[in-house]
Amino acid sequence: MSRDSSKTVEEKLPDKKTNTSEWYSRVLQEAGIVDIRYGVKGFIVYMPYGMSIMKRIIQLYEEELEKTGHRPILFPVVIPEANLRKEAEHIKGFEAEVFWITHAGLTKLEERLALRPTSETAIYPLYSLWISSYKDLPLKAYQTVAVYRYETKATRPLIRGREFLWIETHDVFRTAEEALRQTVEDKDIFHRVTYEVLGIPFLHVMRMDFDKFPGAEHTYAFDTLLPDGRVLQIGTTHYLGQKFSRVFEIKFHDIDGSYSYGEQTCFGIGLSRILASLILVHGDNYGLVLPPRVAPIQIVIIPIPKTGFSRERLENYIEEVRSLLEGAGYRVYADLSEKTPGEKFYHYDLLGIPIRIEIGPREVEQNKVSVFRRDKREREIVDLGRLREYIAYLMEDIPETLKRRAREEMEKNIATVGSIDELMELRGSYSLFKTDFCDSEECAEELKTTTGGYEVRGRFLDEKPGEGARCIVCGGEARSRVLVAKAY
């Protein structure tokens, strides 16, 4: 709960740039985002403030999915072991990570049940019952759920957990062309929320064949850059082709009377990681900086009382301002508690409230308010008559500022390199490298070993290696222009 923050009002947060990890832990706990003290490794608790933000993030993506014809579904958390084993590559990819339910009450179950690590093998047997004709297509559906993976790497709150939240879509089409078009629509959906509303920039790449989703034909991924210079995968879209539809018998009577197998895509929106990115990308040494659309409180009003000035008059004026802004549709909170203005400033800065309005005797007497915007930490005195208009402007300008700042930060970290030596020279100044690559898994592994952890994250879709370009590792013919970075 945000209340906890009162205990640490005097302890400043560590510097975000130089001490990102401690800054992150402190903000998660003190702003009331998540609590990591649940006692089961990799499982965290969403606290009220964090969950209020998360629910708004979920709503944004769900609205975009509904607009593009996706409908909600909800499948069980348990998957029978036999289902999970049906697609060979898929089970191979997930086998080591599955939590198994073996008993219920005092009974041993006849068949083990997996906690869903992802839902293809839960959903597709039913799709095979729901789809029988081309008239049933396209089928576009999504569910917002937690998934479970027994991660053996070090866990980090919201970034790598054994339980995490995501939205998964599962779409079926008549033709490969439509399915491939869906992977582009998925990217657009992701862009409209992740970048346009939340201000989190990302790079869009196609994962290398050796790194794709178990069972997919292709995997497209969205990687964002975190302040420590590492990239984080925050979403993926998979073109499954007919790999699952053949296994799970998703077939339909086609227009020409023949039977065909459905062409499938699925799309994972990594909600927990998106919340982590939101915090890490926009935050500063005062705490969170929230885009207005996901801020539980968008405007906080703080009285600056003065001895000798009527408290009643001050509070009446505050109520006038509050009700004006609430009437305009904003989420407004006037904090009339007994804490000092300084304590309140500290607290709402930490919570990342986009706009703070300060009202003291001078504001009351002059019919003005003092407006502080959290993103730029700038203050402006505004006439009450002009307040609605000014707030409307800030509600547009704050997300624009966050977006621009974050995109510039990401872009200035990109360098194009022609050799491993060049990469090693530039790694102090850049985090993201574009280079040419031969597509082999061996070269990717060698690159990672030689450079102390730089990974081939995938090929850019809109860039190709130049004529005669050579692989940065083996010097063989380059087949792709790839993204190379350290990753979570």
Q: Which positions lie near a second copy, rule CB under 8 A?
A: 1, 3-4, 35, 37-40, 43-49, 51-52, 54-55, 71-78, 80, 83, 95-107, 113, 115, 122, 125-126, 129-130, 135-136, 139, 141, 143, 146, 148, 150, 152, 163, 165
Using CB atoms within 10 Å of the CB of residue 83, give its burial: 0 to 12 exposed, 13 to 18 middle, 19+ buried.
buried
- Complete DSSP assignment for 380-424: EEEEGGGHHHHHHHHHHHHHHHHHHHHHHHHHTTEEE-SSHHHHH
Nearer to a second copy among residue 25 and residue 413 (C-beta): 25
Start-to-end CA distance of the chain, whole Å, equals 28
Q: How far is the CB of 107 from a second copy (least distance, A)?
A: 7
Q: How far is the CB of 79 from a second copy (least distance, A)?
A: 8
Q: How far is the CB of 257 from a second copy (least distance, A)?
A: 18
Among 375, 376, 341, 374, CA closest to 358: 341
Nearer to a second copy among residue 73 and residue 328 (C-beta): 73
φ, ψ of residue 478 in degrees (nearest 5): -80, 135
Report the distance separating Cα 423 and Cα 415, nearest Å: 8
Per-residue CA distances from 380 to 44, 356, 370, 376 (Å):
40, 11, 6, 12
Report the distance separating Cα 68 and Cα 64, nearest Å: 6
**3-state secondary structure at position 454:** coil
Report the distance separating Cα 433 and Cα 447, nearest Å: 13
Among 238, 237, 240, 225, CA closest to 273: 225
Q: How far is the CB of 197 from a second copy (least distance, A)?
A: 20
Nearer to a second copy among residue 40 and residue 259 (C-beta): 40
Nearer to a second copy among residue 135 and residue 181 (C-beta): 135
Q: How far is the CB of 130 from a second copy (least distance, A)?
A: 5
Report the distance separating Cα 289 and Cα 378, nearest Å: 14
Q: The dihedral of CA 177, 180, 182, 188: what is its sign?
A: negative
Sequence-distant (6+) residues with CB within 8 A of 265 are 169, 171, 173, 179, 182, 183, 186, 237, 238, 239, 240
Q: How far is the CB of 43 from a second copy (least distance, A)?
A: 4
Q: How far is the CB of 327 from a second copy (least distance, A)?
A: 18
Q: How far is the CB of 88 from a second copy (least distance, A)?
A: 18
Nearer to a second copy among residue 44 and residue 472 (C-beta): 44
The most distant pair of C-alpha atoms in the chain lies apart, rounded to whole Å, by: 87
Using CB atoms within 10 Å of the CB of residue 312, give its burial: 0 to 12 exposed, 13 to 18 middle, 19+ buried.
exposed
Q: Are 166 and 54 in contact (CB under 8 A)?
A: no
Q: How far is the CB of 68 from a second copy (least distance, A)?
A: 14
Nearer to a second copy among residue 52 and residue 416 (C-beta): 52
Q: How far is the CB of 123 from a second copy (least distance, A)?
A: 8
Sequence-distant (6+) residues with CB within 8 A of 234 are 194, 200, 202, 222, 223, 224, 269, 270, 273, 274, 277
